[in-house]
Amino acid sequence: MKLYLSADMEGTAGVASWAQCDPKNTTEYPYYRHLMSLEVRAAIDGAREAGVKDVLVNDSHSAMRNVLWNELPDDVRMIYGNRKPFSMNEGIDQSFACAFFTGYHAGVGDADGALDHTYSPDTIYNVRLNGTRCSETTMNAALLGYHGVPVALISGDRTTVEGARAFLPWIEGVVSKDSIGRYAVNSFSPAEVRERLRAGATRAIERVAEMKPFRFASPLTLEIDFTGTQNADFAELIPGFARSGGRSVRFQHDDYAVVFKAFVAAMRLGAAANAPV
């Protein structure tokens, strides 16, 4: 059985500040990078107790060079580095039995979600697919669903886990902390979260037959509200995008993989407009 694991960081035990998960920070980041890696390892160990043999980890946070190799089993493969066409979902295909999302966080605008954002906190104000407001969890789960792969486990703060269950009611959820607004948390200890992850991963694999791929119905309409009009100015230049408001654009297509890559392109080009002029 093959497992795909997308590893983010903001949902890691104890994380409540951008500084803790910012690779440019030389004091707090190295410690929380270590905790992130140990949570990935706990999820892998739990999955293997239930029979998983083959694991692919996609480092999915910031520059996507965070998970420490020496914290993982020697036979695990990992996609490392950024500018990936499918970003947090790079490497997924139909050969995987299921996927885990570790260290995930609430979508932009979610109340009581620590460090809430959707892909780019400086660029993206809101994202909708077929009128449904999306988090990274929803968008990523839909791309996995496109390949017929269900998301079997998610870890993060309670808001993140409950938000995932609203769309993926079968999912195994591991709560790492309760958020107190955007910049404070009431967290379980890192050791407790790792134990919960290990046990949750085992249960998720044992229940994999209950898991279902998540999909948005075609035709697909992607709507992006940016933080500023300058972001929409740039995104509108991409063929297929139409301006739908002062800081909003729309893109339509029948193929979700195309829609997702269009989102990534619009986000990256839109972010370029944040540079000083």
Domain limits, the chain: 2-117+136-210, 220-272
| Rounded mean pLDDT, 265-272 | 98
Instruction: Give the model's pLDDT for residue 20.
Output: 98
% of residues, the chain, pLDDT over 70: 100
| CA neighbor of 39 nearest in space, from 1, 77, 10, 79 | 10
pLDDT tens for residues 238-254? 999 999 999 999 999 99
Instruction: Give the model's pLDDT for residue 225.
Output: 98
- Helices assigned H by DSSP within 50-135: none
* Homologous superfamily (CATH) for 220-272: Dipeptide transport protein (3.30.1360.130)
Q: How much is the pTM?
A: 0.98
3-class secondary-structure state, position 34: helix
Query: Residue 47 and residue 167: Cα distance in Å, rounded?
Result: 23
Q: What is the CA radius of gyration of the chain?
A: 18
CB hemisphere CA count around 151 (13 angstroms): 32
CATH topology of domain 2-117+136-210: Rossmann fold (3.40.50)
Query: Residue 125 and residue 248: Cα distance in Å, rounded?
Result: 9
Query: Residue 198 and residue 192: Cα distance in Å, rounded?
Result: 10
Instruction: Give the model's pLDDT for residue 171.
Output: 98
pLDDT tens for residues 92-141? 999 999 999 999 999 999 999 999 999 999 999 999 999 999 999 999 99
